[in-house]
Chains A and B, each alone.
Chain A
């Protein structure tokens, strides 16, 4: 008989689940309030390379969601977390708007490289600086490896190609920290003190679909050829959990996931 584990933490995807752009998903505010009435810990997760937690918080509060800053976990948070764990001083090749999320992190005399979507930094001189650090043994942390994104004037190179360039030049792989990498989810859970078996992820299936389609598009998800082991095990052990607790969860929170998909 399968061991019964209590559901202790819920990770909620932001874009597509709680809100779509600047509009709340109908019923989501109410659902969240009711979820709060339970004992589960909640974390709001999202991939972003240029919105700081403050920016997200403001947007969500405007939509009347009751959320505190330390409940938000972004790919930038994941990067910061890794930097703190490794106790390194990063060269930050990230959008200026992401800098607040690295406040308090030492960046003088860097011995690590953090790279996000930051076209203004992807010039030869800057990348060469990063390259020399990496060749000396500095770790390379990539927020994600998107191949390109859509701009008004057409497609534009994402961080992925430049991460690849540095990986090739130094013959060392980057640590990618954004969704749907395993690292991302484990880091998001770390602050709840819960294990993956005690948690469930509520998302709109965007990541799942894009994972299967090997899409290269931003803004919310990464392209991966195969599902990360964590997601699989979470969904296989949490599927039954979810089915069992679904009623409970639905009754308590009235939560109906956007598009009805859970993974």
Chain B
């Protein structure tokens, strides 16, 4: 127990991954992970600041939050850091007009973006919309551009749905990188800018925050690279081999969010 007190000392805020920590997406929207609804409620009642830091890119923030509230979670849109809005910011700053390789669910996030005469490709977790035809369209466009720009919302390898593990945007990003001989720019975890914007929104320094996620590289590794502490949950996409990852060692491994919150409320003091 002393170990935990030491590890969690000085934590004033928590960054929560959503998929695999709060719930697993899938049939009928998805299923909450045992104990997570209550865990979030307890965190909200505590002195700790709470923010949700997700790479969700199949749905808009609005749709995601509505779904999670239906499942009982206490969450609102302005508490969520998600990649699509961050990407839109970048597109505006650089005068980029994207060809969108996305699922329709996230399209509302791009309503303010000029998509005519595209000069780049923005790809997200398109799920079933990663058809050969759609991939080929994006590929052909990139090959025609004098300076091909490929922006990927995250680079995850896979995530968990209720039916099982699913190929994520990262795999398709690698496909286009290989096909075109280019390197994509990643918006979302584990990019440091993304974590920093979440910290900024919470008004905290990295060393005052702990990230809780199911992706040992994207969530845990990425957060640690920014100077945060990070806990790995054994839900979601977690696989036993993640506990012996050659490069990333989490600050702690917990069964689920509920256990993480127990430990935080016990050991993280102001």
Contacts and interface: CB of A to CB of B under 8 A. Distances in A.
A131 B175 contact: no
Interface in B144-172: 157-158, 164-168, 170-172
B165 A132 contact: yes
Interface stretch (B36-44, B105-113, B134-142, B205-213): B134-142
Contacts of A27: none
B166 A123 contact: no
Contacts of B158: 131, 135, 169
A128 B175 contact: no
Contacts of A162: 175
B101 to A, nearest CB: 12
A135 to B, nearest CB: 6
A124 B125 CA distance: 11
Contact of B131 (A124, A168, A169): A124
A85 interface: no
A158 B135 CA distance: 11
A148 B179 CA distance: 7
A156 B136 contact: yes
B128 A169 contact: no
Nearest to B158: A169
Contact of B166 (A128, A156, A167, A168): A128
A165 B167 contact: yes
Contacts of B157: 168-171
A161 interface: yes
Given A124-B128, A147-B179, A165 B174 contact: yes
Given A124-B167, A154-B140, A155-B140, A161 B179 contact: yes
A124 B130 contact: yes
A164 B140 contact: no
A95 B131 CA distance: 17
B106 to A, nearest CB: 16
A166 interface: yes
Most central of B158, B166, B172, B175 by chain A CB within 10 Å: B175
Contacts of A123: 128, 130-132
B167 A127 contact: yes
Interface in A14-64: none
B175 A165 contact: yes
A122 B132 contact: yes
A219 interface: no
Interface string A133-167: 00100000000000110000011111011101111
A108 interface: no
B127 interface: yes
A225 to B, nearest CB: 12
A132 to B, nearest CB: 6
A122 B133 CA distance: 9
B178 A147 contact: yes
A119 B132 contact: yes
A157 B128 contact: no
A243 interface: no
B14 interface: no
Q: Across the A-B interface, give the 4 residue pairs with the lowest CB-CB distance, nearest first.
A: A161-B175, A165-B171, A169-B171, A165-B175
Given A123-B131, A148-B179, A168-B157, 9 more contacts: A119-B136, A128-B166, A132-B165, A147-B181, A155-B140, A157-B132, A160-B178, A161-B174, A165-B167
15 contacts: A123-B128, A123-B130, A123-B131, A123-B132, A124-B128, A124-B129, A124-B130, A124-B167, A128-B166, A157-B132, A157-B175, A161-B176, A164-B178, A166-B171, A169-B170
